[in-house]
Amino acid sequence: MEELAESNGRRSVRMADVAAHAGVALGTVSHVLNHPEKVSPHTLERVRRSIDELGFVPNSRARALAAGTSSMIAFIVIDLGNSFFLDMARGAELEAQERGLNLVLANCDMNTDKELVYLSLFDAERMAGVLIAPLPSSADDQWRLQEWQSDVVALNVDASGRGCCVTTDDELGGYLAAQHLIEAGCRRLLFTGGPFSLLPIADRYRGAQRAVAEADGVSLELLRTLQTKPADGRKVGDALAARAADARPDGVLAATDLIAFGIIEALGVQGVSVPDDVKVIGYDNNRQAWESTVPISTMAQPGEEMGRHAVRLLVDEIRNPGSHEHEHVRLTPTLIARESTGT
């Protein structure tokens, strides 16, 4: 790790400089900054003027070192290009701001190794706390096995036992999505998505199964995909379009909006109408899929709310190290019915 010289040579104004300029003691300046109510109005005024005149910017590093506290929390995100994660960041930031904390982001850009790198970095930086939103994998993430200096709250992944976490109930989401299709009149459902090593996808499928089991005369077919991209959806769409009309499902549950997007596009090209011939519902309320010609019904995950909850948990953990008990907040996805299911 290379070292960098102190910033730009312009040596910055220190608190001692302000004290000298204002003709008061060092401690007084500190009081002006941290406990202004303990300083006489006259002194307050004078010190503040000196601060302005000298352009003093308190060094929060030194501050944090001396006080043993910090107002910075960090959010490690596996992929900021995914609007779901960005929503979390948004929510986390709002909540942090309301609580007087500052939130910085770290983008892993789908590289899981970076999670560890950033976690170590923020640990060493002695952040007040760290949020982390990894890919939802079934495997135990390695970072969860370590002890960290900072408190850590996980999003989008079940970390119960080792710390706080906030997730959405994918099984329920799958259930609700399937139910929506069934209520829309579909009887031959198809669930498509993959890989099933992604826990949320497996959960969504389970939920769909449950909904189908509860309904009468409804069947559920499964068509796995390798990934969750529009290209995977297009393949599925082509395959479906190639079938005889009566061998086609009348309701498709795509594991992600991107897949749904691809399906609808392929189906459209092949002359199969959505939602008339086939109804399609996606998952994620992904902005990337918002602009589809046929607006896609979807299960929205409350990303922002997840972020807010995570910060709330984190702050509790930081503030009450004694009484804090790890919590697993499980939020409910919401159905957003749009045109692709015939609304």
Partner DNA sequence: GCTCTGGATTGAAGCGCTTCAATATTCGTG
Partner DNA sequence: CACGAATATTGAAGCGCTTCAATCCAGAGC
Contact set with DNA (CB under 7 A): 3, 11-12, 14-16, 23-31, 33-35, 38-40, 42-43, 56, 58-59, 62-63, 65-68
Output the six-digit token pair for 106: 């770290």
Chain-centre distance for alpha carbon 295: 24
**Across-strand partners of 331?**
168
Question: Which of a second copy, DNA, none does residue 31 bind to, with CB < 5 to 8 Å depending on kind?
Answer: DNA
In the range 2-41, which residues lie near a second copy by CB under 8 A?
2-10, 12
- The answer to whether 115 contacts a second copy (rule: CB under 8 A) is no
Strands 298-300 and 334-336, sheet pairing: antiparallel
Region 168-187 residues binding a second copy, contact defined as CB under 8 A:
none
- Answer with the entry of DNA, a second copy, none that 38 interacts with (C-beta below 5 to 8 A by kind): DNA
Q: What size, in residues, is the chain?
A: 343
Instruction: Give the integer Cα–Cα distance in Å for 88 and 92.
Output: 6
Q: How far is the CB of 43 from DNA (least distance, A)?
A: 3
123/169 with CB nearer DNA = 123
Structure tokens at 325: 């008990």
Distance separating alpha carbons of residues 44 and 50, to the nearest angstrom? 10
Residue position matching structure tokens 């957003």: 336
Helices and strands, number each (H, E), in the chain: 11, 12
- Which lies closer to a second copy via its Cβ, residue 113 or residue 246? 113
- Residue 139 CB, nearest distance to a second copy (Å)? 24
Contact status: 275 vs a second copy (CB under 8 A): no
Site for a second copy contains 342 (CB under 8 A): no
Residue 107 within binding range of a second copy, rule CB under 8 A: yes
* Residue closer to DNA (CB basis): 13 or 74: 13
Q: In the chain, how long is the greatest CA-to-CA distance?
A: 90
